[in-house]
Amino acid sequence: MTDAVIDTAPTPQAMEVSDTVAIQIQSMNKWYGEFHVLRDINLTVYQGERIVICGPSGSGKSTLIRCINRLEEHQKGKIVVDGTELSNDLKNIDKIRSEVGMVFQHFNLFPHLTILQNCTLAPIWVRKMPKKEAEDVAMHFLEKVKIPEQALKYPGQLSGGQQQRVAIARSLCMKPRIMLFDEPTSALDPEMIKEVLDTMIALAEEGMTMLCVTHEMGFAQAVANRVIFMDQGQIVEQNEPHAFFNNPQSDRTKLFLSQILGH
Amino acid sequence: MAEQDAFVRHEMLAPEAPPARETGATKWLRENLFNGWVNSALTVIAGYIVVSFILEIVPWFSNSAWNANSLAECREIAEGACFAVIRERWQQFLFGFYPSDQYWRPVLAFLLLIPALAPVLFEKVPRQTFYFTAAFPFIAYWLIWGLSIWYPVTAALGFVIGAYAANYASKQVSGVLSAGIGVLVAIIWWAVLAAPVGTLLNMILPIGLSSVESREIGGFTLTLILGVTCISLSLPIGILLALGRMSDLFIIKVICTGFIELIRGVPLITLLFVASVLLAYFLPPGNTFDLIMRVVIMVTAFASAYIAEVIRGGLAALPKGQYEAADALGLDYPQAMRLIILPQALKISIPGIVNVFIGLFKDTTLVSVISMFDPLGIVTPIRADADWNGIIWELYGFVALVFFVFCYGMSQYSQYLERKLQTGHR
C-alpha cells in the first residue's frame, strides 16, 4: 500500500549521516514487575540517522523508544541522549524531553485546545517564547505538514491523518534534535497513511534524526539507513534496508518478513 | 439464486426532504405521547392528574392574603394562603437579627458580589475585573461584620506582601522554595504585624462601621455567606486534595487520602457540632474564634473532600496519552496539570462538582441545629409566635422556592459551561 512513496523518495545513501552520537544506549534492561521486557539493549544512533524498528507485537519496540524520553523508566544500563544521561534528575528529564519530539500512535492531541494552541503551548511554556513568535513558528510547521487552514479548529474536527500531521507539527515546533515515532500510522485508515508517511519522508530528507517504530516496510526501504528487528525484548538483527529485506540472516527475521510481506 | 446484473451508477442521488409526517409537532406528539395504546392511556391519566393538581393549587394562591397581622386575621380575609407572614417577617428571612438600621451593608455586599463573580463565571468580562474579585472578600467582610476598615486592609496586605516576597525570592531560589518563603512572610505579617499596624492606622485615620456579631447574622444572608465562601474555598482545596491523592509522593498521598476518607466518613452535623461545641474546649479560653468562621472551615473541609473525589474521577477518565503527550513535550508537573490535565478533568467533572455545590448550598441549612438562624432556623421562632402559630406551608414553601431559584441557577450555569467547553468528540 505504500509502494508509491518509494518512487518519490531519494535513496537513503543520498542523505548525510554525521558521526556525532545522538543517542547512546548501553546494556539497558527493563522489567515490568517480573517480566523482562527489554534485555541487554545496545544501540548507538548518530545525528541524522533514520532508524526503523520493527518486530512482532510485544517485542518491546515501543517500550524501547519510550525509554529514550523517559516515558518508561529503565532499571539497568545507561541511556545518554544528546550528551545528557537519563537519571532520576527531573531537570535532566525535562531538558531531554524538550529536545526529543515524540509522535504517538493515537496522536494524543489536546482536545480542549485549538490546533494552533496545541502547537504553541510547549514553545510558550517550556521555551518561554513570546506568543506571537510561537504562533509564527507553529504556522510555519503547519504549512509544512500542509494543514495551515485548520489552525483554528479543534482536534476533534479533523480526520485521523490530519490529526497525526498536527501531532508531528506540534513536536517540530519545539525544534527537536531527535524525533521518535511510535507506530504513527497504525491507528489510521489506509487512505490516510500516505499523507502521514509523506510528511515523515519530507522530514527525513531535511536530515532529522528519526527513530520510527512502524510496520510500513515501504517507508523503511525509502528512507531508513538502518532497520532494527526486535523480538522478545532483544535486538535480533540490524542492517541497512536493502540487505535487511533481501537477505535476512536470522530465522526469526525471515519468518517475520514472510508474515508481513507475504501477501 | 437470482442472476445479479452488473451495475454502475452514473448519476449520484441528491438528498431529499423527509416525508411530512416525520417532522414537526405531529411527529413529536405521535412519538412521545401517543405511541401505542398503553402510552396514549398513560398520557390521558397523567394529563388528568396534572390538571386536577393545578385546579387545586391555583385557588390557594389566588385567594391568598398579603395584608394581615396574624394567622387568624388571614383566615378572616381569605381562604387561601397566608403570605402576610412573609410580608411581615421578610427582614428576618433575609437578614436574621441583623440590626435593622444597618441592612444596607449586607445588601451592598451582595450587590458587589455580582461584579466580583462576573469575571469568574463569564469569559467575556474584562480581565482587569479580577482585581475587584480579589478585593471583594475583604470588602464584604468589612461591610457585614463592621469594625475598622484597617483590619481587612492589613489582612489583604498580607497576601500582597507574601506575593511580592515569593516573586522576589523566585529570582534567587527555586520555585517551591520561593513559594514557601512567600507563605512564611505572609504568616509572619498576619501573626505579628497585621494587628498592631491595623490599630495604628485606625488611630491615625479612624474609618469604621458599627460591629455586628456573628450570632446576629441570619436568614438568607447567612446562607449566602456560607454558600459563597465555602463553594469558592472548597473547589481549589478539592483540586489540591485530588492531585495529592493521585500523587507519587507517598507522604502527600497518605495525608490527602486520610483527610478525604476521614472527613467523608463523618456526618456533616457531627462536624458542625464539633465546630460549635467541641472546638470551644480545645481552643484556649477567651478565644474569639468566630462561630461563622468555624462553620465555614468545617463545611469547606466536608465539601472539598467530596469535590476531591469527583475530580479524581475526572482525572482517571482522561486517557493516559494526555499525560504522556504533556510529558513528552517537556512540560513540568505544574504546567502539565494546569494547562493540559486539569482543564480537561474539570470539564468532565462539571456535573459532579455542581452536584456537590448544590448539595453544599442546601446543607448550609443544617447550621440551624447549632442554633444559628438560617432561613430554616428563622421559621421556628416565627411558628412559635402566638400570632402565626399553625402556619407551615407558606413559610417552608417560601424557603424552598428561594433555594430552588439559587440551585436551579447553578444547574443552568453548569449546563451553559458544559456547552461552552464542548470542543468536539475526543
The per-residue pLDDT for A216 is 87
The per-residue pLDDT for A7 is 44
What mean pLDDT is predicted for residues B190-211?
74
Q: Mean pLDDT score of chain B, rounded to an integer?
A: 83
Count of pairs with CB atoms under 8 A, one residue in A, one in B: 73
What mean pLDDT is predicted for residues A171-178?
92
Q: Do A155 and B332 touch (CB under 8 A)?
A: no
The per-residue pLDDT for A116 is 94
Lowest mean pLDDT across A10-24, B7-21, B390-404 = A10-24
* CA separation for the pair B232, B121 (Å, rounded): 12
The per-residue pLDDT for A18 is 77
- Calculate the CA A26 to chain-centre distance: 20
The string of pLDDT tens digits covering residues A48-104 is 899 999 999 889 999 999 999 899 988 999 999 988 888 888 888 888 898 999 999
Residue B78 has pLDDT above 80, yes or no: no
Residue to substitute from A95, A108, A126, interface B, most B β-carbons within 10 A: A108
Only one residue has cell 497525526, namely A164
Q: Say how many C-beta atoms besides its own lie within 10 A of residue A61's C-beta.
A: 27
Only one residue has cell 513570546, namely A130
Residue B194 has pLDDT above 50, yes or no: yes
* CA separation for the pair B325, A88 (Å, rounded): 19
Between these two residues, B149 and A182, which has the higher pLDDT value?
Answer: A182
Q: Do B321 and A106 touch (CB under 8 A)?
A: yes
User: Where is mean pLDDT largest: A12-21, B70-79, B90-99?
Assistant: B90-99
Rounded to the nearest angstrom, the minimum Cα separation between B174 and chain A is 12
Cβ-Cβ contacts under 8 Å, B421 against chain A: 112
What mean pLDDT is predicted for residues A131-140?
93
Rounded to the nearest angstrom, the minimum Cα separation between B419 and chain A is 13
The string of pLDDT tens digits covering residues A221-230 is 888 989 999 9
Between these two residues, B106 and A118, which has the higher pLDDT value?
Answer: A118
The per-residue pLDDT for A9 is 44
Does A171 touch chain B if contact means CB atoms closer than 8 Å?
yes
Q: Do B321 and A104 touch (CB under 8 A)?
A: yes
Q: Do B329 and A97 touch (CB under 8 A)?
A: yes
Record the cell numbers describing residue A129, joined without a space.
517564547
The per-residue pLDDT for A4 is 42
The C-alpha angle with vertex A240 and arms to A236 and A242, in degrees rounded to 5, equals 110
> Three-class SS of residue B329?
coil
Rounded to the nearest angstrom, the minimum Cα separation between B235 and chain A is 21
Cα dist from A178 to A115, A143, A182, whole Å:
22, 21, 13
Does A90 touch chain B if contact means CB atoms closer than 8 Å?
yes
* A12: confidence class by pLDDT, cuts 50, 70, 90: very low
* A2: confidence class by pLDDT, cuts 50, 70, 90: very low
Between these two residues, B29 and B308, which has the higher pLDDT value?
Answer: B308
Residue A213 has pLDDT above 70, yes or no: yes
* CA separation for the pair A80, A23 (Å, rounded): 6
Query: In this structure, are strands A76-81 and A21-32 parallel, antiparallel, or unpaired?
Result: antiparallel
Of A110, A154, A157, the CB nearest to B340: A110
Residue A3 has pLDDT above 50, yes or no: no
Does A262 touch chain B if contact means CB atoms closer than 8 Å?
no
* CA separation for the pair A243, B260 (Å, rounded): 61
What mean pLDDT is predicted for residues B61-82?
78
Q: A13: exposed, middle or buried (C-beta count within 10 Å: 0-12, 13-18, 19+)?
A: exposed
Does A219 touch chain B if contact means CB atoms closer than 8 Å?
no
**Do the beta carbons of residue A53 and residue A65 sit within 8 Å?**
yes
Q: Do B339 and A97 touch (CB under 8 A)?
A: no
- Calculate the CA B406 to chain-centre distance: 9
Q: Do B324 and A101 touch (CB under 8 A)?
A: no
Query: In this structure, are strands A84-85 and A76-81 parallel, antiparallel, or unpaired?
Result: antiparallel
Between these two residues, A25 and B150, which has the higher pLDDT value?
Answer: A25
* CA separation for the pair B356, B314 (Å, rounded): 14
Residue B278 has pLDDT above 90, yes or no: no
In chain B, positions 143-182, which contact chain A (CB-CB < 8 Å)?
none
Q: Where are the alpha helices (DSSP H) in chain A?
A: 3-8, 61-68, 90-99, 115-125, 131-144, 160-172, 190-205, 217-223, 241-246, 251-261
The per-residue pLDDT for A209 is 92
Q: Do A94 and B328 touch (CB under 8 A)?
A: no
* CA separation for the pair B364, B375 (Å, rounded): 10
The string of pLDDT tens digits covering residues B281-340 is 776 666 667 788 888 888 999 999 999 999 999 999 999 999 999 999 989 888 899 999
* A262: confidence class by pLDDT, cuts 50, 70, 90: low
Does A111 touch chain B if contact means CB atoms closer than 8 Å?
yes
In chain B, positions 362-421, which contact chain A (CB-CB < 8 Å)?
421
Q: Do A154 and B424 touch (CB under 8 A)?
A: yes
Does B320 touch chain A if contact means CB atoms closer than 8 Å?
no
Rounded to the nearest angstrom, the minimum Cα separation between B113 and chain A is 30
Rounded to the nearest angstrom, the minimum Cα separation between B4 and chain A is 30
> Three-class SS of residue A216?
coil
Lowest mean pLDDT across B18-27, B323-332, B366-375 = B18-27
The per-residue pLDDT for A10 is 46
Cβ-Cβ contacts under 8 Å, B328 against chain A: 69, 71, 97, 100-102, 104, 171
Residue B9 has pLDDT above 70, yes or no: yes
Q: Do B324 and A121 touch (CB under 8 A)?
A: no
Q: Do A156 and B347 touch (CB under 8 A)?
A: no
The string of pLDDT tens digits covering residues B94-127 is 888 888 888 888 888 888 888 888 888 887 878 7
H or E, element range at A44 = strand A35-46
Query: In this structure, are strands A100-103 and B208-209 parallel, antiparallel, or unpaired?
Result: unpaired
* CA separation for the pair B142, A172 (Å, rounded): 54
Residue A168 has pLDDT above 90, yes or no: yes
Between these two residues, B218 and B412, which has the higher pLDDT value?
Answer: B412
The per-residue pLDDT for A135 is 94
Query: In this structure, are strands B208-209 and A50-54 parallel, antiparallel, or unpaired?
Result: unpaired
The per-residue pLDDT for B66 is 78
The per-residue pLDDT for B175 is 66
Residue B21 has pLDDT above 80, yes or no: no
The string of pLDDT tens digits covering residues A227-246 is 999 999 999 999 999 899 88
Residue B423 has pLDDT above 80, yes or no: no
Query: In this structure, are strands A178-182 and A100-103 parallel, antiparallel, or unpaired?
Result: parallel
- Calculate the CA B149 to chain-centre distance: 27
What mean pLDDT is predicted for residues B127-148?
82
Q: Do A101 and B328 touch (CB under 8 A)?
A: yes
The per-residue pLDDT for A170 is 94
Please state the ipTM of this predicted complex.
0.88
Cβ-Cβ contacts under 8 Å, B423 against chain A: 111-112, 154, 156
Only one residue has cell 440551585, namely B407
